[in-house]
């Protein structure tokens, strides 16, 4: 489930970067407003739930492993989540402007969009190459009930509808 979320993160980041170029050429037209709303929806609803999953399940598993690599990876994940939240706080109001049909200052929007996308590059790689495999091995070592409990908890939080995100409407391809 966590790896599948990364596919959606990458699609939303790609849409964000296409939106940045579109706004530079066309301003906050209808297509830009739709794309901004899609990016806002994903990173306001689904992405925080994904970080919560990692903080509830991946970080504790890494800490339980107890080796230096796992402990430093757990701390790095938490630190990077904080930096990503801060970058989102800078980008979100600019996307809200676009969603309302207003064109933000180009340099500010370009910088905030690129920073937000760049922060995810290394973060996703760290999770996919080290954090997820290590946490998965730890949980698997706890047995089938532990695996089922993690999956059920993540699914139950998504069933509330709070993180339901539909496929983006906007595409600049």
170 part of a folded domain: no
Instruction: Report yes or no on 168 lying in a domain.
Output: no
- The average pLDDT across 100-104 equals 97
How confident is residue 151, by pLDDT bands cut at 50, 70 and 90? Answer: low
Domain assignment present for 164:
no
Q: Is the pLDDT of residue 173 over 60?
A: no
In a domain, residue 166? The reply is: no
Q: Tell me whether residue 35 is in a domain.
A: yes
Q: What is the pLDDT of residues 53-81, one digit of tens each?
A: 899 999 999 999 999 999 999 999 999 99
Residue 64 sits in a domain whose CATH number is 1.20.120.520
Q: What range does the domain containing 43 cover?
A: 2-159
Say what percent of the chain tops pLDDT 90. Answer: 72
165 part of a folded domain: no
4: number of CA atoms within 13 Å, CB side? Answer: 3
Q: How many domains does the chain have?
A: 1
Residue 66 lies in a domain: yes
How distant, in Å, are the alpha carbons of 114, 135, 167 from that of 111? 5, 34, 26
pTM: 0.85
Cα–Cα dist 173/170, whole Å: 9
């Amino acid at each position: 489930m966590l790896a599948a979320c990364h596919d959606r993160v990458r699609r939303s980041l790609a849409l964000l970067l296409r939106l940045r170029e579109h706004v530079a050429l066309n301003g906050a037209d209808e297509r830009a407003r739709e794309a901004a709303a899609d990016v806002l929806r994903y990173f306001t609803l689904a992405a925080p739930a994904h970080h919560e999953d990692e903080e509830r399940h991946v970080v504790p598993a890494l800490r339980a492993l107890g080796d230096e690599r796992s402990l430093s990876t757990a701390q790095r994940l938490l630190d990077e989540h904080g930096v990503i939240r801060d970058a989102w706080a800078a980008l979100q109001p600019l996307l809200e402007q676009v969603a309302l049909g207003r064109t933000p200052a180009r340099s500010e929007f370009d910088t905030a969009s690129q920073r937000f996308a760049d922060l995810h590059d290394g973060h996703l790689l760290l999770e996919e190459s080290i954090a997820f495999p290590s946490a998965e091995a730890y949980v698997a070592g706890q047995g089938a009930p532990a695996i089922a409990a993690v999956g059920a908890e993540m699914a139950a939080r998504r069933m509330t509808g709070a993180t339901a995100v539909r496929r983006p409407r906007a595409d600049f391809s």
